[in-house]
Amino acid sequence: MSSEDGHGTSTHKHVHGGEEEGATPSKRKKLCSLGTGEMVHVLHFRAKPGKKAEFEVIVQEIAHGLYHLEAGISDVRVGHPSCNEVCFILTFLTSEDLSKFRAGPEQDALSALKDVVEGGKETFSATGTLMPDTHTLPTLLAYLKKHVTGPSHEGHDVATVGRELTKWFPRPEEYKQYVHWDSDATKYTRNLIFSNEHMDVLLMCWPPHCKSAIHSHESSSCWVVLVEGSVVEVQYNSPKLDIKFIQAEMKNPTGAVGRCTKLRVINEAILSENGVTSSYANDDIGVHRIENRSDKPAYTLHVY
C-alpha cells in the first residue's frame, strides 16, 4: 500500500501552468451559505427637535415588546447612542419570519413613532443574511499550525479540526496560485500550500474522470475538503497483508510489493459544493481513494 495519493504528480515546487483551458467556472456559493441562514434586520430612528421626551417613552415601550418576541426570532439588540436616537438590531430564523415581522410589529412601531421622528420614518434601515464565522486561507493555515501537531492522528482533535476546515470559504483569488496541471491531462496534481514537521497542506487538482490509487496514510490524519467541483471519497476496510509485503516494506517502505485480502467498500462520501464538503480518514478507519466522476475539473484541499 502507498502512503501517497496514488499515481498523481507531486509538485512541491510549483510547476508552471494554470487553470485548464476552456474550463467554465461553476456557479459559486456565497459566503453566507456557510452560516445558519438567519436574517438580520436593522432600523435606526432619530427624534425630531423638541420631541425627545415623547420619543424616549415610545422607544422604551417598543423595545420592551421586541425583547419579549419569541416566535421566529433568535436575537434582539437595542442600541441607544443618545437620548434622541435608537437602533433596533433583530435577528430572525428565516426570511419568512422577517416578512411577518415587517408586516406586523414593524408597522405598529412605525405608526407609534411617525409623529416624533425625523422624516416620519426610520433614518436608516438594512437587511441581510447573518454573516458566519469563516476562515480565509491565511486564518485557516494559522489555525492548522496551532492545532495539527504531533506524529500521529491519535493526538489530533479530529472533529474540531474538521469543523474548522468546513469554515473555510474558498476564494479563487486565494487558491488559484496553487492550481497547476500535469502535461498528461489524465493525471491529477499535488500542489504544496504549506508544510512543517507536523503536517502538509496540499491543493489537489483532479481532471475529469480521474482517480487516485487506493492508499493508506500510515499514522497520519487525512482531512479532505472540497474546494470546487465534485469528488467522491471511497473508503475500504484495511486489508490483511501477506508476509512478503510486510518484510519488503521494512526495507523499502514506498516500493514494497505484495498481496492482500480482498478490499471491501465501507463508505462513499460525495463531496459537492451544495452538500457535504469534507471527509476524514486514517488507517484505523481504513484505506481510501479519491475519484472525480464528473465531466469537469475538481479541486480539493488535503491536510495530512
Q: What is the largest CA-CA distance in the chain?
A: 94
Comparison of pLDDT for 22 and 42, the residue scoring more: 42
The per-residue pLDDT of the chain, averaged, comes to 88
In this predicted model, what pLDDT tens digit does every residue of 198-254 receive, in sequence order? 999 999 999 999 999 888 787 889 999 999 999 999 999 988 889 988 888 888 877
**Least confident span in 13-27, 34-48, 157-171:** 13-27
pLDDT tens-digit readout, 78-126: 999 999 999 999 999 999 999 999 999 999 999 999 999 999 999 999 9
Query: At 7, is the pLDDT very low, low, confident or very high (cuts 50, 70, 90)?
Result: very low
For residues 110 and 43, the answer to whether their CB atoms sit within 8 Å is no
Residue 28 has pLDDT above 70, yes or no: no
What pLDDT is attached to residue 27? 61
Asked whether the beta carbons of 134 and 169 are under 8 A apart, the reply is yes
Beta bridge partners of 88: 43, 78
Q: Across residues 124-142, what is the average pLDDT?
A: 96
Q: Dihedrals φ, ψ of 234, to 5°?
A: -110, 120
pTM, two decimals, is 0.78
> CB-based contacts of 273: which residues, under 8 Å, 6+ apart?
26, 28, 29, 226, 228, 229, 230
